[in-house]
Amino acid sequence: DTGVSQDPRHKITKRGQNVTFRCDPISEHNRLYWYRQTLGQGPEFLTYFQNEAQLEKSRLLSDRFSAERPKGSFSTLEIQRTEQGDSAMYLCASSLYGGRGHGNSPLHFGNGTRLTVT
Amino acid sequence: EDQVTQSPEALRLQEGESSSLNCSYTVSGLRGLFWYRQDPGKGPEFLFTLYSAGEEKEKERLKATLTKKESFLHITAPKPEDSATYLCAVQGSTLGRLYFGRGTQLTVWP
């Protein structure tokens, strides 16, 4: 079990630039989640995938944010035209969903990508 | 809307001084309540899942309990290495997203 891997660990960008983050989940997990966390707050849900299908997006996710999981394995999160308010830790998590009769395993998180927008 | 409230926001304990953290929740059709530990600069680390009222789970100095409206994380004889932020989260009947509280920042001093 290599755990959830996120790249890069840190990203500093200027306002208005686009950034892309990558997440590699635990290999046998079929669900992948993106969360955002700011200082002193709990993780805030952004979106999640089951295999390659994006099943839910938060209402808070503006159209500047887009996530993909093209082959049901790794995922990317892109933020276009970054703003200072986008500065946060972006966390990825994965889990194994076994269907309605078996439910969802706990989410396992990576160590995040810390984004600073100057 | 599903909600999670954790208290206190911060807690300072002397080594060996036992205490409890609280997590109050409202959720449509609870399918799981989760406790995580988070160290600075790291992602949350899974501790426990509780599924139904009356359930208890233990791990070393930590014990989690669940009622129909809240969960407690009891810390017995804590050590400085237990210092971290403890997060509570719930999953509802859709078995989709987890809703997190803001966490309790625990500091244990020698």
Taking only the tens place, the pLDDT of each residue in B12-48 is: 999 999 999 999 999 888 889 999 999 999 999 999 9
B41 contact A CB<8A: yes
pLDDT in tens, B49-90: 999 999 999 999 999 999 999 999 999 999 999 999 999 999
Whether the CB-CB separation of A11 and A80 falls below 8 Å is answered with no
* B97 with A56: Cβ contact below 8 A: yes
pLDDT for B67 equals: 94
Round to whole Å and give the CA distance between B19 and A37.
Answer: 27
Percentage helix, strand, coil for chain A under 3-state DSSP, each rounded to 5? 5, 50, 50
pLDDT for A61 equals: 82
Which segments of chain A have a pLDDT < 50?
none
* B99 with A33: Cβ contact below 8 A: no
Radius of gyration for the alpha carbons in chain B, expressed in angstroms and rounded: 13
B-contacting residues of A 7-66, CB under 8 Å? 33, 35, 40-45, 48, 55-56, 58
Percent of chain A with pLDDT over 70: 96
Q: Where does the pLDDT of residue B94 fall: very low under 50, low under 70, confident under 90, or very high at 90 and above?
A: confident
pLDDT for A7 equals: 97
Instruction: Give contacts of B102 with chain A, Cβ < 8 Å.
Output: 40-42
Task: Please tell me which of the candidates B4, B32, B43 has its beta carbon nearest to residue A109.
Answer: B43
A100 contact B CB<8A: yes
pLDDT for B72 equals: 98
B86 contact A CB<8A: no
pLDDT in tens, A72-95: 899 999 999 999 999 999 999 999
Round to whole Å and give the CA distance between A49 and A74.
Answer: 11
pLDDT for B73 equals: 98
